[in-house]
Amino acid sequence: MVLFRGDVKSKSLQRRTSISVILPADNIHFLQDAEEIVPKPYRTLYLLHGLYGSDDIFLANTSIQKFAEDNGIAIVIPCGENSFYVDNVNAHALYGEYVGQELLDITRNIFPLSDKREDTFIAGFSMGGYGAIRNGLKYSQNFSKIGMISAALITDDIVGYSSDDNVLRSRPFYESIFGNLDELEGSDMDPKALIENCSDIPDIFMACGKDDFLYDKNTDFYDFLKTNNVNVDFVEAEGEHTWDFADKYVKEFIKTLTL
């Protein structure tokens, strides 16, 4: 396994931004005098962190480095700030465009990553789960599968929020990200509207803990997907909104990519 951490220059964001990249290369077992060669170009998972996170947070809180090596898959983790991975045109912080297209172009130019749709996947935890479904659908020509782990499917709720010191309940905070919340329904930031308008929906994997505060939102979205005949797998398991749950089910999602 090879780990790269560094900065790239993004047109979509108008600045430099950090990324972490895990490659299933140099898989040498010195004690066994053996080496496993993963064929290039690599299948690639673009993995999105949650609110308050950065590109290194999965490295600190999960064991995906070893899991990527064992399963022969590259993982690219961008820094999404607290953007929900949507496009803030006024700030020229086009995080949707960045993770949906530009990041793929940048990383494929630097690393031996496959440019085939069937080899390219997007997933995320919490805010990143929302970012994965939003951009996996908006840029569906690029991704063959979407993973949503404890996804923050909150766009129906935040319209009714008011001012609050807690950012999770703050209407001004969400307005700074999504713009006019009264125009959110039916827009390209509304996952249900994206499903209804997407002609080539990627396969979807969902997982959420039964004690997660987002559980009802995830079950509602799963029911919506089934009603619309979307190919979706949903794992309902014991657990809360924790890194232990994220670690287990990001790896469960990766397992589905290697079948």
pLDDT tens digits, 101-124: 999 999 999 999 999 999 999 999
CATH number of the domain that residue 27 is part of:
3.40.50.1820
Domain count, the chain: 1
Domain extent for 98 = 2-257
Look at residues 6, 102, 76, 67 and name the one whose alpha carbon lies nearest to residue 254. Answer: 67
- Model pTM? 0.95
pLDDT tens digits, one per residue of 14-42? 999 999 999 998 666 555 555 667 889 99
Of 70-84, 87-101, 125-139, 149-163, which range is least confident? 149-163
Q: Across residues 186-200, what is the average pLDDT?
A: 96
Instruction: Report yes or no: 86 and 133 within 8 Å, Cβ to Cβ.
Output: no
Residues 146-161: tens digit of each pLDDT: 999 999 999 999 988 8
Please report the pLDDT score of residue 62 as a whole number: 96
